[in-house]
Structure 1
């Protein structure tokens, strides 16, 4: 009977541990029409851009568990539900930080590119190659299992003027490839979209282009970096009212991937409009640039070693967010969504001559069935001139999922990677206990 009691204790402990770990997971964010939802509740992004060290210190803040948990306390004080991270190391472990973020109710919006593995806006074709996609797919592998991975950015400000609009087909091809990889590997549906620069000459063309074509080619959302609200300002003075009108019939969720002009002292009047019915039928919130103080002076806090000191902007933003509730109900979103018409070539502002996209590089096709394997990390050799670029255009619809993958339809989305299911142990324990009890009755 001592053996039986021990097994019963193990079963109870295991079941309790599994329940506790699963309870810390956040519900996965889904796209419905032109909005995000967490279950049946409309989800508005209330976040900051998070990359301590900035572009001068390429590091992975999600792999720095101590720094991440230190900063989570300030995220909570601001009342955030999301952070954006621009660079991660896809060879590192991220369980501790991702679980701590989930426990704090915070989602991650992740850029899959890194400085060495990204598209070259000056000459995109050579940089769109198998080595590049392998790195991106390996990043997806690392983060797909966390239910608080909200979304992936396929690119950031690749188009930054009228001339670079010619890179749009490559950005869209990367989005297509990421979406196909996620589906082929049998992962849960994780939204993929583009973070655009706010280029007045082709802002609308970029948005329309990312939402036109066959279903496999369209993005799941569209985001852009908007610094047009420079205090003192208002919803109308900033021109945000016109942007809402321009995007009224747009069929995808839209949010601001960066905002917070610092030309003058920041008053952070933006949240009062962003989280109101003035914008909620079209916009799903946004991310303030940026958490830590870097040379561009947008920081909310100063980080020195292990210590964090809030700057004046921190308290101003904290008050602005605390004083602004999200609209009740569904915010007037469009539940049907829908595709846009592809914009026509228009020199000099929109230089895309065809709706056809580059075909996936031959060397990358194997990843769709075999998986990406180990990523190159931040120390990798880089991909921009690695060879093996795309050699033709894709047939419309070729980016659709071709198999269900080997990971199971939602298996990875139920438990985060730091967790393993105790269910087999519990079942085994029950079998053992039942057998022993049965034997004792004989």
Structure 2
């Protein structure tokens, strides 16, 4: 029988052993058989060892891979944590220095009683330099390209006594002109609504537009409810929001209706008019009040009484709309010449006191208008506000208030005027205040 694993036949092997024993000699075949058997065992042992080594090697490789991935994740987590900590530290650092800087600035402002802010500046223009908007054209009004520069405004609040004491010197040394030149000019806020096609007939001059954020909006009861525009701006007063409405004077039939709609819807009881209907051959404002009665749109205006004085006229009117009626008084200052100041400055003080007489906090805003609604209008509002502030606080900030006013109605208190007042007028606070404001007054 032959072994299938070795290929050796038992009969042949026995015979070979027998023959070898008989001869007493070791043959080469027997040696080869032993070598083969040893080689077979060695191969078997090597295969087992090799298999075990391969398994162990694979296990080590797997553990190395797992360890490597775990290490990468650990490093990533540590790196991310460091970045988060740095980001939080930077945020707290920025917030800390910002608050510290703001606090320091606030303390500095309180200590020095000044403020500093950047404003746009353009050259002031008188009414003769203003360009009228063509009323027969259609489409949106073309936006003006205004060249501006930036200026730092620093304003100083002073006591009333100091203001009166320093005013003559400021005027004689040209300080008033310098302070005026530091004021912001031009349009300082967005005014996109004024440029719409539907607003064209409500604007008389290019560049004289109410700002979007504080413009007066009309509520229409007819089909064209989107036409809510009127060239007028709400102005804050001393401790009262919307104390005034600074308005352009009516100049066409549409603005007559808009004007009275504004009066009615804002519960206005007092109108301050600071221009005449004509100055020379130039129409300044249409007559919006009756000699007896007048129908304008849905409103019927009846003249109840008139008081005529040397420098102003008071007209008492009753306005009817449907079943309702309201009483409105017009305070018309008649002796404020164009491009000049009142001949008698104290007359405007008396006039202002008449406007204020009996006014309560619950009354609607005072409508103040001239022709354009920025020059004499701004001067009167400034005059009234600063008198209120001076009486209540015993301090005033003329330049600061005019800057604030121009951010509510662009161009208010338009240009400097080279006018002078006798020194004895500065002894009275009201006259001194008027002197200061009118010195900055418009040419409109």
What TM-score does the superposition give when structure 1 sets the normalisation length? 0.26
Structure with bigger strand share is: 2
What TM-score does the superposition give when structure 2 sets the normalisation length? 0.25
Higher relative contact order (CA 8 A, sep 6+): 1
